[in-house]
Amino acid sequence: MFSGAHIVDPATAAKFKTTRSTDPAEFTASSRISTRLPGVSYNYGYQLRDRGLWRMRFNEPIFTMADRCAGTIEACFAENRFSTEVTLSGDESSMFVVVMPCKGALTLLQDGAATTASEGRGLVMRPSPRARVVFSDAGARANLYFKVAEVEAALRHALDRDLRRPLEFAPGLDWTCGLAVSFKRQLDAVFAEFQSLNGVADNPVALAATTDLLVTLLLRAAPHNYTDQLDTGASCAVPAYVRRAEEFMRANSAKPIRIAEVAVAAGCSVRNLNDVFRRFRGTTPLTALHAIRLDAVSEALLAVGTGPGTSAAAVAYRYGFTNLSRFATAYRRRFGESPSETARRTAGFVNARARMGAR
């Protein structure tokens, strides 16, 4: 992920707002580095813990941050050469952040408790003035930010009621067990996509589905004060919900729809939608939408093949498939042939019909 002074691949660095510093004076009590960072980072204070470094000079960066926003989520890579303490001033952040250490360790100090994250453990937090984070020497991490309002809205949909108190996550997250394994896998894929040309971040259809998946996994994989309630409760399973949801997804398969929109179209809550799909389809709405989009690609290829000036990849991208390798694998699993084989078969049929007409 990291290469020398470059925190992202130089070929795709233009996609990111990248800030580098070689001056320790930017990491003193005044924390001047904050004024150069993207977004609302000016609310954060960065201070080198070893004050003996404050008057030194370096030729190579001692701090690098690369940031990219897409839709309602924000991906950020950061690395520091020396141990650094970060604090937040002002109000509590409007974002939850999931931290994945890539090198070194970091410790969250909050309300008298310390939580340490390293390569095997992540961190979920909502930065606030009552918390501070200490990064070790030679530290590097990938952060993904989610809007608090969006995550809490997804939780309300899942519970099918209003929240009586704000959502709070337990900070530690073990990547080696439970749904956290799948969550980590999806996070790795998203960070790779954010660095790709024409990846998920550039495709609104794929980004909407990916955001829903990540928010769902965050709520299911990371412990929080509503976990027990989220794991209990029955649904009012009505098959009509499934039919209306599927009709809506088919009609909008090439659009950046969110699962909350599908639930509105179906006439039920997100929680009920998930329940009825598990009961009557043995799957989730997100998986069903993925299958519907595969069907749409197949139908498009069967209708016109690839045609001049187009390709199976272009058709796939239109329906939100940005990773062609994973798309081809899923397509073959569903239809027993590759997308190009479907296109060639259609082209062969069209050519044969044209020859017959010429006679």
229-272: pLDDT as tens digits: 887 644 444 478 899 999 999 999 999 999 999 999 999 999 99
Q: What are phi and psi of 217, to 5 degrees?
A: -65, -35
Percent of the chain with pLDDT over 70: 87
Give the pLDDT mean for 29-51.
85
What is the reported pLDDT for 54? Answer: 93
What is the reported pLDDT for 89? Answer: 84
The neighbour count for residue 292, using CB atoms within 10 Å, is 17
Pairwise CA distance, residues 291 & 281, whole Å? 12
The shares of helix, strand and coil residues in the chain, as percent rounded to the nearest 5, are 45, 20, 35
Pairwise CA distance, residues 59 & 36, whole Å? 19
Residues of the chain with CATH 1.10.10.60: 227-349
What is the reported pLDDT for 112? Answer: 85
What is the reported pLDDT for 349? Answer: 45
Of 6-10, 99-103, 153-157, 300-304, minimum mean pLDDT range:
6-10
Find tokens 């990773």 and name the residue: 323
Q: How confident is the model at residue 169 (pLDDT cuts 50, 70, 90)?
A: very high
Contact yes or no for 39/76 (Cβ under 8 A):
no
Q: Which fold has domain 10-210?
A: Jelly Rolls (2.60.120)
Give the pLDDT mean for 51-66.
93
3-state secondary structure of 290: helix
Give the pLDDT mean for 98-119.
92
What is the reported pLDDT for 114? Answer: 94
b/e per residue 294-304 (b: at least 16 CB within 10 A): bebbbebbeee
At the second CATH level, the architecture of 227-349 is Orthogonal Bundle (1.10)
User: If you average pLDDT over every residue of the chain, what do you get?
Assistant: 87
Give the pLDDT mean for 11-29.
87
